Structure 1
Amino acid sequence: MARDKSKQGRAAQIIQTYRLTKQSDPNLGWILLGTFAVVGVIAFAVLFFVLQGIVFPIVFGILFGTLAALMVFGRRAQKAAFAQIEGKPGAAAAALGMLKRGWKIEPMIAFNKQQDLVTRLVGPPGIVLIGEGSPNRLKQLMSSERRKHERVASETAIHEVYVGDGEGQVPLRKLGKHMTKMKRTLKPAEMTDVLQRLKALDANRSAVPLPKGPVPTSMKGMRGNLRGR
């Protein structure tokens, strides 16, 4: 019974993801149907020619068509999700929510009145300070945060990443991949100590209100929905 409820829950999540994606991608249904049909027919034709039968080509044609449609759905759903959060405060933290285990995200550790903000990511590359907003205004904010982090974690590599489509910036949709490609300098056993030091740093920050405006939620749930977990 519990397993049936779990399957129903996953199905509901996939349907919800489809509906949300279709809002910004109206032709999604036709694209998925076309992908299923084209790939399914090609797979059927190839297997029919090789096996000289009818049952297995039909079965595998359906399987290959479904798999291709799911892959296209996943990519378009992810693209739509990025389009919905891009430009909103905290978009970087939401995008980084798709990273697997072994990363610690702390959104909005610093910001200003113009809603330029800094998100912190701790993981295999060390400490990564991620700036969102105007590059010129962010320089002072990022420099201040770097000095604070160097005082409590001087032996840990500290990186600065600016989110955007300009020169020297990392597009939001490529942010997660950019992080995973960075050189690994922090071992899992060392991460606990670094996080404890940063916890002490954060405890000394003055309590100030978060910037106004919608803050997008993590995209990790969408990744799980598309994987059926």
Structure 2
Amino acid sequence: MAEKKNEPLDPTTMSRRRQILETYRMSKQVDPALTWWMLGSFLVFGAIGFGIFMLLPGDNLFTTIMAAIGGVMVGFLALMIVFSRRAQKAAYARLEGQAGGGARALTMLRRGWTVEEVVAFTRQQDMVHRVVGPPGIVLVGEGNASRLKPLMTSERKKHERVAADYPVHEVIVGTGEGEVPLPKLVRHLQKMGRKVKPAEITELRGRLRALDAQRPKVPLPKGPVPTSMKGMRGNLRGR
């Protein structure tokens, strides 16, 4: 029974309500002030919303009722926005320093992106993941930069051989010079721009299948965070 309790949760098997509760529970472990931030945002913005609605012309009783409803709605919206932002920050904090944290962060990418986890690795758990999307091919490395550079150079050459017509980018996750911090990884990839059309992305994926067929699949190490963040993307974005 103890082993089952320690197993990572899979958000894709949860109901929407359970996802929100689990996101709140895990976020509060990293951010103990989360509850107070949510309550404070509800009260402050709820009061502002109530005051704005009270300025509307009409019957006093009707205006008061509408102002109360409007204040609750505005307060709840503010609460969810604060929850979303702080939960996302907490999620990245849990992932930082963990093997495979970069791969799990990449699951936050929207439609139009394909993430292949651990296309190359070292014995020291340095990993290279591949992302295919509007910028073309992006090789994302996480681990020791000095060990990653030759590994990523090798992967770049392999990908250029099968997809010479498409751009290949390299990104290393980290806090060093020229590296991209984990919380900014998804935004960094999205800002790379559109260099490949949707139809070309489909053709590109087809070319890469031959390369992938030669690789053994390597499972990511399990940790205290969910094995996939896809089921929680809506919660973290405030939807």
Specify if TM > 0.5. yes
Q: CA RMSD in A?
A: 2.1
Paired residue for 1:36? 42
* Match for residue 19 of structure 2 among 13, 19, 26: 13
The one-letter amino acid paired with 2:72 is I
SS of the residue corresponding to residue 183 of structure 1 reads coil
Q: How does 1:72-151 map to 2 (within 5 A)?
A: 72-151=82-161
CA distance in 2: counterparts of 1:192 and 1:104, whole angstroms: 10
* Match for residue 27 of structure 1 among 20, 33, 47: 33
Paired residue for 1:5? none
| Deviation of the 1:26 alpha carbon | 1.5
Paired residue for 1:4? none
Q: How many residues align?
A: 221
CA distance in 1: counterparts of 2:25 and 2:222, whole angstroms: 24
CA distance in 1: counterparts of 2:135 and 2:182, whole angstroms: 19
Paired residue for 1:3? none
CA distance in 2: counterparts of 1:126 and 1:148, whole angstroms: 15
Q: Which runs of 5+ in 1 are unaligned?
A: 1-7
Q: Is the 8 A contact 1:89 1:216 kept in 2?
A: no
Matched, 1:192 2:198: no
SS of the residue corresponding to residue 118 of structure 1 reads strand
| Deviation of the 1:216 alpha carbon | 5.8
Q: Is the 8 A contact 1:109 1:119 kept in 2?
A: yes
The one-letter amino acid paired with 1:28 is L
Highest relative contact order (Cα 8 Å, sep 6+), 1 or 2?
2
TM-score (norm. length: structure 1): 0.89
Identity fraction in percent: 55
| Deviation of the 1:47 alpha carbon | 2.3
Q: C-alpha offsets along residues 158-187 of structure 1, whole Å, 9 cap, x if unaligned?
A: 000111112111111111111111121111
1:113–1:125 distance in 2 versus 1, CA, 3 Å: same
| Deviation of the 1:9 alpha carbon | 2.6
| Deviation of the 1:228 alpha carbon | 8.3
1:209–1:177 distance in 2 versus 1, CA, 3 Å: closer
SS of the residue corresponding to residue 54 of structure 1 reads helix
Q: C-alpha offsets along residues 182-201 of structure 1, whole Å, 9 cap, x if unaligned?
A: 12111111112211211101
Q: Is the 8 A contact 2:19 2:231 kept in 1?
A: no
SS of the residue corresponding to residue 128 of structure 1 reads strand
Q: How does 1:165-204 map to 2 (within 5 A)?
A: 165-204=175-214
* Match for residue 166 of structure 2 among 135, 156, 159: 156
CA distance in 1: counterparts of 2:113 and 2:136, whole angstroms: 10
CA distance in 1: counterparts of 2:174 and 2:226, whole angstroms: 17
Q: Is the 8 A contact 1:14 1:226 kept in 2?
A: no
The one-letter amino acid paired with 1:176 is V
CA distance in 2: counterparts of 1:209 and 1:176, whole angstroms: 23
1:210–1:16 distance in 2 versus 1, CA, 3 Å: closer
Paired residue for 1:47? 53
